[in-house]
Structure 1
Amino acid sequence: MKHINNQRTLSFKIFTGITFSLLSTLSISTAAVAGDALEESASLSPLATHSLLMDVDRVGNHLIALGERGHILLSEDEGNSWQQVPSPVRVTLTAADFVDDKTGWVTGHDGVILKTQDGGYTWTKQMDGYQANKLMQDLAQQRLAQSEQALENATAEQQSELEDEIGELTIQLEDAEAFSDEGPSRPFLGVWFKNADEGIVVGAFGLILHTIDGGNSWKAWYDHIDNASSFHLNDITQIGDQLFIAAEAGTLYRSDDWGMTWEMLDSPYEGSFFGIIGDDKGRIIAYGLRGHAFQSLNSGDTWQKIDTGIDSSLFSGTLLSDGSAVLVGAAGISLHIDSNGRVINTNQSPSRLPFSHVIESKNKSLLIAGPGGIHTAAVTEGK
C-alpha cells in the first residue's frame, strides 16, 4: 500500500503536465507506455525546434536545449538556428548539467539519466525508472534490516526509539515497493555534477541518487537528507562552494560538503519552491508557487520577501552579468529584479504560454525555453 498522499500526486501531475506545457498528456503515463518510450529513440523531426522545451544551457561555444518526446537540440549561432541530435529515449527531458564543454548529463521523466562525452552530439542512457526504483527499494530494505537487527541487541532505553524508527522504515519500504510495482513513474527534475565523477540527481517523491563514477553506477541517497515525507525535490544547484535543493512544501536544503549531508533551512514560505539562483558572495534567490520569491544575502540563513506583484508560479531564473536577475514562469511572466531584491520590470508574453527556463545570451538578451521552442527577448521586454 502506497502511503503517498493522493492530493500530492495530483498536484505534481498538474505541475509537470499542465503548468509547464498546458498539455495534460505529459502527465499521463502507464508502465507499458513508459517502457516503450524508454526503449525507443526520439523521432527526428523538423517540428522539434517548435516543440515544448524544458531547459536551455550553454556548453562551451554552443547551446543545448531539451524537452518533450526526448528532443535534444544544439545551436552553434547563439540560438538563431537549431539542429536536432539523436536521443536514445522519447520521454520528456527536464534538466542538464555539464562539467566541461564535452561531458554532461540530462535527466527526464520515467527516471531517465542520459550522458554525453562529446558536448551533446551523442547520448547514451545510464539509468531509467525501473533501475531507480530498485535502488530506492534496496536501500529501504537494507535500512529496515539494520534497524531490526539493532533492536535485537538493544537496551530497554533504546527499544522504544528503535521501534518508532522501524515503523517509519516499514512505511518507507512499503512506498518503495509500491513505486516498483507501479513502474518508472517518477521523473528526475534536477541534476548536478561536481566533476566528471561525482554527481547527484533529484526528482519527484523524494527520488535522489548519487554517483562517484560518472554515472556508471548509482546509489540511492535519501538516507543523507531529512525528507521523511518524500517531498518532491524540484531542483539542485551549486552556488559558490555550496549546494542547494529547492523542494515541495516550502522545503529548502543546503549542503556544505558536496551533498554528503544536508541541512534543512528555515524557510520563509510554506508553498513549493521550484528553483534557486545565486552568486558566490552569499546572495541567493529562491522562487516558486504563486509568484513567491525570496532573497537571502547570507546563503539562506535569513530571507527577505521579494514583492513580485504577481500570483503566477515562477519556474526558472538566472543572474545576469550586471548583477540583476530574471525570473520566468507561468502565463509567460518574466520579472527583472535588481541586486537589492526589487522588481524593476514585469513583462508578460502576448501568448500567455508558460516559460520553463531562461539564460542570458552572449549579446545580453534572454533565451527562454517553453512551448514553441526557444524564444529570444530583451531583458526589459517580453516576447
Structure 2
Amino acid sequence: MMSIFRHLPLLTSRRHYAASAFVACLGLISAIASAKNDALAESAMTSSLAQHSLLMDLDQVGSRLIAVGERGHILISEDNAISWKQMPVPVRVTLTASYFVDEKHGWAVGHDGVVLHTSDGGSHWQKQLDGRQANQLMLERAQAQLAKNEVTIQAAIQTANPEQLNELEMQLESLTINAEDAESFVIEGASRPFLDVWFRNDREGFIVGAYGLFLHTTNGGDSWQPWTEHIDNQDLLHLNAIRLVGKSLYIAAEAGHLFRSDDNGESWILLDSPYDGTFFGLIGAGDNALVAYGLRGNAFISYDQGNHWQTINTGIDASLFGSTRLPDGSVTLVGDGGFSFQINPKGQVSHLSQTPNKLPLSAVISKSDTNLLTVGLAGIQPISSQNIKP
C-alpha cells in the first residue's frame, strides 16, 4: 500500500540526518504543501479534476475501485475504472494510504495525523483520530514510561558498576528525550502524517507514520494505543509501510531499517538490512519470497523472511514507491519517472516500461496479467506491463 508523496512535507528531524535528503529526493512541488490544521475540520471540496490530481493509494474492494489522495479526495469506480465519483470526506488534508479488510470496512490515513473509517465500502467516511489527539496519546505514554522507570533506574544507579552505570544513564536519557520530543510535538500541533495502515480484521489494526508514529487498536479505531515501546526505534525514524507477508508482519522504514513481527505485532525484531537508504515498501512474491524496495531503484529479495537478502538489478535509479502481486506470483513495482517493471520469484526483472508523461507513480493494482491500474501525480493511469522500454 505504499505511496509516493505520502511522507511530505516533513519537518527536519530532531535526531537523525535522513529527513532532508528524503524530502529532496522526492522533489515535491509547492502545490502539495501541507494543509493547515483547520483542514481537519473542513470537508473536502468536490472537484471535476479530482481523478487527474495527485492520488496516493488504490484499492480493489469487491467490485469497487477506491483511490485516495490530496485535499481529502476519495474516488470510487464501480465500472472497472471507466468512470469515477468523488465521495464526501470530512477533512481536506492529503490522504496517504488506505486499507480494507472486506467489502465494507476500511480505513484511510494521512497528513495532520488523520485517520478515517468507512463501514459501507467507502461511500461515507468518519474521522476517528487526528494529529492533535495522536500527539497527546504519544505524550501521555512517554510521560508514563518515564515516571514508571525513573525511580527504579535512579535507585539502580546508586549501586551500579561503571559498565552498568553507563547503560542505566543511557536508558534514563532515552526515556527523558522521548518525553521531551513528545511534548514538543504537542506544541507543534498536528504536523506529523500517518504513512500507512494495516488491519487484521475489522477490530485490530496498526497505523505507522513520520517521526516514529506507531499506534494500535483493538476496537476498530474507536480508541488507539501508542505502540512505540514494542519496536526499537530510538531515533524516531519514519515508519513508511506496514504489510503482512505470509504469517509475519513487516515494517519498511528509513535509514535502512526493516522490522519483522512473528507474533501479530506484539514484538518486533530489527532485520539485518542489505541497504542503508530508505525503504518505501515490501511485498511477497511467489510462495516464499519477500521483496523490499526503496530509494534510487534499490530492491532486494529474501527467501528466509528477511534474514538474508539478495540484490535485484532493477536497471534504474528512480525511487520505487508502490507494488502489486500478479496472478502468477511475480510482482510489479512502480515509482518515480513513471517507471514500472516486473520481478519474478527468482528476482529476475522484466517488462521495464515508462509512461509517456514520465510523472511519478505512487501505487498500482493488477487488473490482469498484463493490465495494471496506477495512481500518482497525474491521477489515475492504466498501463500495460508488456510495454517494454527500448
Q: TM-score when scaled to structure 1? A: 0.93
How far is the alpha carbon of 1:5 from its aligned partner? 4.3
> In 2 relative to 1, CA 86–285 (structure 1 residues): closer, same or farther, beyond 3 Å?
same
Question: Is 2:232–2:270's contact at 8 Å kept on the other side of the alignment?
Answer: yes
Aligned equivalents of 1:346 and 1:364: distance in 2? 13
The C-alpha deviation readout for 1:206-225, integer Å capped at 9, x for no partner, is: 11101111100001111000
User: In the alignment, is the contact (CA less than 8 A) between 2:300 and 2:311 conserved in 1?
Assistant: yes
Compared with structure 1, are the counterparts of its residues 319 and 262 closer, same or farther at alpha carbon in structure 2 (3 Å cutoff)? same
CA change 1:11–1:91 in 2 (3 A) is farther
Query: C-alpha deviations, 1:139-165, integer Å up to 9, x for none?
Result: 111111112121354361365533321
Distance 1:374 1:241 in 2: 32
Q: Equivalent residue for 2:8?
A: none
The alignment yields a C-alpha RMSD, in angstroms, of 1.9
SS of residue matched to 1:46:
coil
- Residues 1:126 and 2:128 aligned together: yes
Q: Distance in 2 between matches of 1:341 and 1:280?
A: 10
Aligned to 1:183: 189
Residue 315 of structure 1: aligned partner = 321
Counterpart position of 2:150: 148
* Matching of residues 261-272 of structure 1 within 5 Å: 261-272=267-278
Q: Structure 2 vs 1, CA of residues 6 and 251 (structure 1 numbering), >3 Å: closer, same or farther?
A: closer
The yes-or-no answer on 1:204 pairing with 2:214 is no
Letter of the aligned partner of 2:179 in structure 1?
L
Given candidates 356, 378, 383, the residue that maps to 1:377 is: 383
Superposed CA offset, 1:164-217 (max 9, x none): 211111111111111111111111011000111110000011111011111000
**What residue number does 1:162 align with?**
168
Q: Which runs of 5+ in 1 are unaligned?
A: none
Contact map agreement 1:240 1:279 (CA 8 A) in 2: no
User: What amino acid is the match of 1:140?
Assistant: A
SS at the partner of 1:139? Answer: helix
Counterpart-to-counterpart distance in 1, 2:388 and 2:379: 15
The runs of at least 4 aligned residues of structure 1 exceeding 6 Å deviation read: none
Match of 1:98 among 77, 96, 100: 100
Q: Is the 8 A contact 1:274 1:315 kept in 2?
A: yes
Tell me the distance in 2 between the aligned counterparts of 1:220 and 1:275.
Answer: 22
Shift of the alpha carbon at 1:280? 7.7
The superposition leaves residues 62-118 of structure 1 with CA deviations (integer Å, 9 ceiling, x where unpaired) of 110000000000011111111110011111101111111100111101101000000
- Describe the superposition over 1:361-383 as per-residue Cα deviations: whole angstroms up to 9, x where unpaired: 15751001012211111111279
1:112 is aligned, of 107, 114, 137, to 114
Partner Cα separation in structure 2 for residue 350 and residue 280 of structure 1: 30
1:11 and 2:21 correspond = yes
Look up the SS of the partner of 1:286 in the other structure: strand
Q: 1:336·1:380 contact (CA, 8 Å) conserved in 2?
A: no
Q: Which residue of 1 aligns with 2:259?
A: 253
Partner deviation per Cα, 1:336-377 (whole Å, 9 max, x = no partner): 222211111211112111000011015751001012211111
Identity %: 53
SS in 1 for 2:361: coil
Give the superposition deviation at 1:24.
2.9
CA distance in 1, matches of 2:315, 2:167: 47
Aligned to 1:227: 233
Amino acid at match of 1:86: P
Q: Shift in Å at residue 9 of structure 1?
A: 3.9
Counterpart residue number, 1:70: 72
Aligned 8 A contact 1:234 1:275 in 2: yes
Tell me how many residue pairs correspond in the alignment: 374
- Paired with 2:313 and 2:376, the residues of 1 have a C-alpha distance of 25
Measured in 2, the distance between the counterparts of 1:143 and 1:156 equals 22
CA distance in 2, matches of 1:130, 1:282: 41
Aligned pair in 2 of structure 1 residues 10, 371: CA closer, same or farther (>3 Å)? same
In 1, are the aligned partners of 2:101 and 2:199 still within 8 Å (CA)? yes
Residue deviations 1:27-81 (CA, integer Å, cap 9, x gap): x44xxx5321111000011111111100011111111000000000001111111
Q: CA deviation at 1:12?
A: 4.3
